[in-house]
Copies of this chain bind each other. A is one copy, B any other.
Amino acid sequence: MLDFEKNYLVTISFLGSRYHGSQIQKNAVTVQQIFQDALYETLATDGVEIKCCSRTDSGVHAKAFCISFSVPDSLSEFRFISRMNHLLPEDIRVIGLKEVPNGFHARYSSTGKRYEYYIWNHEIMSPFWEGRAFHERKKIDSQKVMNAAELFVGTHDFSSFCSIKSDVEDKIRTVKEITLQEKEHDLWVLSISADGFLYNMARIIAGALIQVNRGKLTVSDLEAYLNGRPRDNLLLTLPAHGLYLSEVFY
C-alpha cells in the first residue's frame, strides 16, 4: 500500500479542438485521459487518483486548467514538467507544478474561476481564429454590451443561464467581474470571473450579450431572466470553441 505524503497541483494549458472535453469518458479521447496516461507513465504507477478543477465541454480550450494528486515522494518540478511534456501531445502542455497542503483539492479548494470568450468580429472569418473564436458579423458596440454586462455582476440566481442538463440544486453564483476588450483588431475578448460557473453559464452569458448587441434582447430582458423568467430560444448558448478556461483561483 502506498503512503501518500506529498500533494501536488499541476497546471496545464490545452487547445481543446481535438478533445471530447476534459473529463474521462468511455470511447472518447479526453484531456483527462491523455493527461492521466502520461502521469502514470511518468510516476511509473497507476495507483494515483487525479482531481480536476472542473469539467470542460468538447472543444473548449484552457490557458490554465488545474489538476491535483498525491504521491509518496517529492517530485522535481523541472524533471516532472519535462517528462510530462515529452509524453503529452503538442496541444496539451504542463505549464506548472507546485506542492500544496494535504487535503488540497483542485476542484473543492477553488474559490472561483475566470473564463474568456473570444469573438472574431468582422464580416469575414479569420483563418487564424477558425475553431478558436466565435464568428460574429454584427459590429460590437462595447458600451452597449458592457452596460448590459454590469447586470450580471453580483450575486444572482443563474437558473436561466445554465443548461437544462445541469444537475446542481443551488444555482446562486457570484459574478465578480466582467470585462470586454479588443485584444487585437477585430478580436474581442469577454472575460468573466465568478466564484463558480453552472453548466454552460459562461457560454449563455456570452450569448445573452451577443443578443443585446444584435438588438434581439434588451437590458430589461436580462433583468427578467435573472429574476426568474425561464430560458427560451432568445438566450443563445454560444459554441464551445470560443471558450477558454483562463484562471482558477485558490
Contact = CB atoms under 8 A, between A and B. Distances in A.
A126 interface: yes
B91 A126 contact: no
Interface in A106-165: 124-128, 130, 132
Interface in A1-31: 13-15
Contacts of A125: 90, 93
Interface range on chain A (Cβ under 8 Å from partner): 10 to 19
A130 to B, nearest CB: 5
A127 B81 contact: no
A198 to B, nearest CB: 26
B14 A90 contact: no
A234 interface: no
A85 interface: yes
A91 B127 contact: yes
A95 interface: yes
A15 to B, nearest CB: 5
B85 A127 contact: no
B93 A15 contact: no
Nearest to A129: B15
Contacts of A192: none
A121 B165 CA distance: 42
Contacts of A126: 13, 93
A51 B125 CA distance: 25
A120 B61 CA distance: 19
B14 A92 contact: no
A93 B124 contact: yes
Interface of A: 13-15, 61, 81, 85, 90-95, 124-128, 130, 132
8 contacts: A13-B126, A13-B127, A14-B127, A81-B124, A90-B127, A93-B124, A93-B125, A93-B126
